[in-house]
């Protein structure tokens, strides 16, 4: 017994595409987005191809028009003028190269001071200022040296004069006392040293055991008991 299959049992498949247009239509239906992008790219390619062909055509027409211009026309005269100018330039260049070098009329290493004027007043002022500064510095250093020397001489003189004072004793207490050259003195008293009309005086600053500190003109000296 032969069992016949009904057409409903068979799987229904789309018929295969017959030509290129059917394939394109089928691809568009399957993926519309890709088809749209491909269409835009093809359109751009076509436009570029058309513009390229048009530019080539314009260049060819211009070249043909330039080549077909008559010899006696304006274009021919311009070409002949350009050739003439080129020949003149070449001739002048050749003549310049063959000519002997011209001697120099001036020394390239000499400086013409007339072209570079200087402000004499300002230079003089600056020089005076520099000289004055160094002079003042030298004077200041000399004066300091003189002051230092005078100070040293004063210290030596006062030390020599203070050495004439003889500290005999010191009494420590609420008010310290000292006996100098047989005279009782306290702190702040003035002691005369030396003989003559103008003896040198010293002020007693501090009395300590077996020594005193005296001062004159800012110079402090120590006198010890012997």
**pLDDT tens sequence across 93-121:** 888 888 887 776 767 777 777 777 665 55
pTM reported for the whole predicted model: 0.39
Under 8 Å between Cβ of 215 and 194 = no
Residue 11 has pLDDT above 70, yes or no: no
**Beta strand 167-171 with 177-180: parallel, antiparallel or unpaired?**
antiparallel
Q: Where are the domains positioned within the chain?
A: 20-62, 142-224
Give alpha helix (H) positions in 68-119: 74-98
- Give the Å distances, CA to CA, from 183 to 57, 60, 149, 189, 198: 136, 136, 34, 11, 19
Cα dihedral across residues 124, 129, 130, 131: positive or negative = positive
d(CA 144, CA 152): 12
SS3 132: helix
Decide if 66 contacts 73 (C-beta within 8 A).
no
pLDDT tens for residues 137-147?
888 888 888 88
Q: What is the mean pLDDT of the chain?
A: 75
């Amino acid at each position: 017994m032969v069992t016949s299959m009904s057409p409903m049992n068979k799987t229904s498949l789309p018929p295969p595409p017959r030509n290129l247009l059917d394939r394109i239509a089928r691809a568009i239906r399957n993926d519309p987005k890709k088809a749209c992008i491909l269409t835009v790219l093809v359109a751009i390619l076509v436009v570029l191809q058309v513009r390229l062909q048009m530019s080539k055509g314009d260049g060819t027409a211009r070249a043909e028009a330039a080549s077909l211009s008559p010899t006696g026309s304006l274009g021919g005269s311009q070409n002949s003028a350009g050739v003439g100018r080129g020949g003149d330039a070449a001739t002048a260049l050749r003549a310049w190269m063959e000519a002997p070098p011209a001697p120099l009329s001036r020394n390239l290493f000499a400086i013409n001071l007339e072209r570079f004027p200087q402000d004499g007043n300002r230079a003089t002022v600056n020089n005076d200022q520099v000289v004055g500064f160094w002079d003042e510095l030298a004077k200041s250093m000399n004066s300091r040296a003189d002051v230092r020397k005078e100070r040293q001489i004063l210290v030596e003189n006062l030390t020599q004069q203070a050495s004439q004072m003889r500290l005999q004793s010191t009494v420590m207490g609420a008010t310290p006392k000292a006996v100098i050259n047989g005279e009782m003195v306290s702190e702040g008293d003035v002691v005369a040293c030396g003989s003559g009309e103008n003896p040198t005086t010293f002020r007693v600053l501090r009395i300590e055991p077996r020594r005193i500190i005296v001062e004159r003109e800012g110079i402090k000296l120590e006198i010890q008991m012997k």
